[in-house]
Chains A and B, each alone.
Chain A
């Protein structure tokens, strides 16, 4: 049967037959890098047009409808425009940091691609501390924002970057505690173990109400971590013009923009892996026929379907809820999300120890 892992295995075999193992490994690494960059480019194009269409339909508008069928090539035209624009560096800026910052944002996003399982047996790096790696590396993204804000030599940028720092440091806690609930239930930090533990049912169904609560907290916290509305303090058009990327133009701005959307994809992929079973098909108890039909759908379709469902959920939030003020934002984290998620983690631990989950 057709699957991504079969393609990967046959490429691996052919390379090892044709070249010596070292060269084959180098070529495989190059292929993986190009594939990740290609995925980024595709995600940028798809998510931008998706966001614009979703926002338009939610606001009773039509959205882009001129370029291509139903306006589907609009993001391609936007990318072309950004490519031919001049990349300005302001006079008083710290030139090195200013130019490096967008690439740091992209590199963090690329590093986070490593432990994600896109399909059955299709994963770049199945390390034994996958979840810890994800939470650790995703906090580096705040450095790129701080670099951009500091190096721009602009008050708006600096304020936006500082807000982003406060926000990410706060929300990392409840995101981590929500992830920890699933780690407690599984008993492993390895991504493939977490997915295999959900073969007979996803954690959101198996873990009773505590799993649902931690799922909601996870979604709220990652929305804040990716600096998206209703938590877009770092950008905040109305008060900070554009926050940390005020001074950026052309392709450097596009890289920040792309990194934001790729981060949305990554956090949704992690959410899908932890709570919705990653590439695991939807199975119901002992309905053999139903389970067989579900197994017939390729695992990559399951993974991308779940991820895009979560992305749609986050877009739905963005275009429904009003923005929070910075003090309300920190109140929400420290007075509500953190105590609730700590209490919730206690409940999950009790459930896991007593084996009450299905």
Chain B
């Protein structure tokens, strides 16, 4: 009984080692599987994975309109105070009603950990993660960005 278990152990060990060697042998002979990007050399043809998170940007359409209502859900969701939303009140020309809107969407890239919580918190899908990653600048203040483009306004129908 003991001997049977012993031989079974040895056989199982040899089989599992052979399985591992088959896998590494496959990688050794199939160089197309290599996932290393030779980054500065292939800068023009660099393809990043879809889920790569580089920085937060606000989506603007061709009419320079965005979907941000200024609800500050992203600001509340941010774990390290990366986002600061300054709101203002637009006065509707026809009805004279006041309506909350964003004045400035301040984004501190130097504090951001790319955790994606703000994008998930946004109820209107106004912000997303961009693929850019070459963020080096000589002055730290350049990392504090305003995400809404100058002159942009909220898209009609987004509440």
Q: Which residues of A contact B (CB under 8 A)?
A: 54, 57-62, 65, 316-317, 319-321, 336, 340
Contact = CB atoms under 8 A, between A and B. Distances in A.
B158 interface: no
B28 interface: yes
Contacts, number: 35
Given A59-B27, A62-B38, 19 more contacts: A54-B28, A57-B27, A57-B28, A57-B34, A60-B33, A60-B35, A60-B36, A61-B36, A62-B34, A62-B36, A65-B38, A316-B21, A316-B24, A316-B25, A319-B24, A320-B20, A320-B21, A320-B23, A320-B24
- Would you list the 10 A-B pairs with minimal beta carbon distance, nearest first? A320-B24, A58-B24, A62-B36, A320-B20, A57-B28, A58-B28, A61-B36, A320-B21, A60-B34, A60-B33
Interface string B12-23: 000001001101
A59 B36 CA distance: 10
Contacts of B99: none
13 contacts: A57-B28, A60-B27, A60-B33, A60-B35, A61-B34, A62-B38, A316-B24, A317-B21, A319-B24, A320-B23, A320-B24, A321-B17, A340-B10
Contacts of B36: 60-62
Interface residues of B, number: 15
B140 interface: no
Contacts of A58: 24, 27-28
Contacts of A340: 10
A273 to B, nearest CB: 24
Contacts of A321: 17, 20
A61 B23 CA distance: 15
A321 B10 CA distance: 16
B4 interface: no
Nearest to A59: B27
Contacts of B33: 60
Contacts of B97: none
B31 interface: yes
Contacts of A336: 10
Listed residue (A60, A62, A319, A340) with the most chain B CB atoms within 10 angstroms of its CB: A60
